[in-house]
Amino acid sequence: MNKIPMKNKIVEMDGDEMTRILWKMIKDELLLPFVELNTEYYDLGLPHRDETDDRVTYEAGEAIKKWRVGVKCATITPNAQRVEEYKLKEMWKSPNGTIRAILDGTVFRAPILLSCVKPAVRNWKKPITIARHAYGDVYKGTEYRVPEKGKAELVFTGENGASFRETVYEFECPGVLQGLYNKDSSIKSFARSCFQYAIDTKQDLWFATKDTISKQYDQTFKLIFQDIFDSEYKAKFDELGIEYFYTLIDDAVARVIRSEGGYIWACKNYDGDVMSDMVSTAFGSLAMMTSVLVSPEGCYEYEAAHGTVTRHYYRYLKGEETSTNPIATIFAWSGAIKKRGELDASPELTDFADKLESACLDTLESGVMTKDLAGLAEGVTPTVVNSLDFIKAIRAELEKKLG
Ligand code: NAP
Ligand code: MG
């Protein structure tokens, strides 16, 4: 069989622990036999990040800007225990945070649906994609534990003379105080990423805040979204027959539960943090969740939503068999290959990625699955297999589809 050619490169970012083991299995069994894989390789495994003083992460981020498509394996974000375990020079920052800062993007997470795994919400029939703004608000806030009676004020001093001073509260007893901010530039790029992703995936976009109560802060989010929609995206939405819909956050949660899915739900930072865990759990499992970072310039970085599955890795190191679910990592690769195919006008690549995804779904629907899913499956008798046997079963399906 002739391998499918790949004109331009995909930025490949290797990672850590169990997902690094899966990464190699996926390449060996599902990609390299079929595709002339053309990647620029960056090893973001923790030992190599440490060796390069984390330069490799910055270089990978810049490479995504150049090639516009990247695929990333899960990586360890070091804490004190990891510094000890890996004898690190420093507690390096989260690679995802570093890359997000370079690309200035929004993270989109969507569940992968199976007919044999039913969502906890009965009427959900199609995926709900959460788009989370990953900058500012409570994550960059300043807090104060008020110790005694006294006056709290909000003060702004502008460079060109603008000024603002208002009493927040006259404390008659101890209490708590918090200052939050966001920036127009970040909200604008969040909005553009969401509108662009809605166009790319031909789905409606929902956005919700609490602008009735937060008359400046949340209102600004609402107005910026509406303004950018009207001036830059409305025509394209009309052409595709998709809709932009704004409502209040409490109305949105009620509508989400009643809906059948099939749209993108844009959330402010905190709402997205909370709602994405609720939505993904209600759909089944973190190992069945795709995740892509989209920058306003149209760069795409695909990854799994879960971590490096440390507990399984320690068992693997002891020579025990593990049944770790590789689906999210396979879909990170298929997502990147599909996007490369689209950008390079290479239908063969896009077709291969579609077939790889459908081979995964057919394998699962036949009942061959990893341990995490077996407990959720309905209507099939699950056959639980280890990671490599699972990947080999997917390969057999894929070979059938490729003829
Ligand atoms: P995790 O790797 O997502 O794993 C948590 C638990 O979820 C696992 O122990 C496992 O449960 C289950 N699980 C997750 N993915 C699975 C899969 N593919 N197949 C089967 N079960 C799966 O989270 P963590 O243990 O909190 O974090 C481990 C490391 O990952 C940390 O060093 C963290 O920094 C890093 N991390 C990286 C990313 C990223 O790169 N995007 C994201 C999150 C965390 P059972 O053990 O019960 O089977
Ligand atoms: Mg969270």
308 lines ligand 1 (CB under 6 A): yes
Nearest to 32 by CA among 287, 303, 333: 333
CA of 373 to the centre of ligand 2 (A): 22
Given this chain, do its domains 1-108+291-403 and 118-140+181-283 carry the same CATH topology? yes
The pLDDT value recorded for residue 225 is 98
Return the domain boundaries, the chain: 1-108+291-403, 118-140+181-283, 142-179
- Please state which CATH number belongs to domain 1-108+291-403: 3.40.718.10
Rounded to 5 degrees, what are φ and ψ at 114? -125, 145
285 lines ligand 1 (CB under 6 A): no
- Residue 86 confidence (pLDDT): 96
Kindly indicate the confidence band of residue 305, based on its pLDDT and cuts at 50, 70 and 90.
Answer: confident
Strands (E), 64-196: 69-72, 106-111, 128-132, 142-146, 150-157, 163-171, 175-179
Is the pLDDT at 219 greater than 80? The verdict is yes
The per-residue pLDDT for 277 is 83
Closest-approaching ligand to the CA atom of 274: 2
The pLDDT tens digits for 332-366 are: 999 999 999 999 999 999 999 999 999 999 999 99
Q: If you measure from the C-alpha of residue 324 to the centroid of ligand 1, how many angstroms do you get, rounded to a whole number?
A: 10
CA dihedral in degrees (344, 345, 349, 350; nearest 10)?
120
CB of 75 sitting under 6 A from ligand 1: yes
Of ligand 1's listed atoms, the one at least distance from the Cα of 327 is: 18
* Global confidence as pTM: 0.89
- Residues 249-283: pLDDT tens digits? 999 999 999 999 999 999 999 999 889 888 988 98
Give the per-residue pLDDT at 276: 87
Cα–Cα distances in Å, from 312 out to 47, 213, 224? 19, 46, 45
pLDDT in tens, 33-58: 999 999 999 999 999 999 999 999 99
Calculate how far, in angstroms, residue 274's C-alpha sits from the geometric centre of ligand 2.
5
Q: From the CB of 307, is ligand 1 less than 6 Å away? A: yes
Pick the CATH number of 118-140+181-283 from 3.40.718.10, 2.60.40.1760, 2.170.190.11, 3.40.50.300: 3.40.718.10
Res 72: pLDDT: 98
State which of 46, 81, 309, 384 you would mutate to test the pocket of ligand 1, scoring each by most atoms of that ligand within 8 A of its C-beta. 309
**Bridge-based pairing state of the strands 128-132 and 383-384:** unpaired
CA of 310 from ligand 1 middle (Å) equals 6
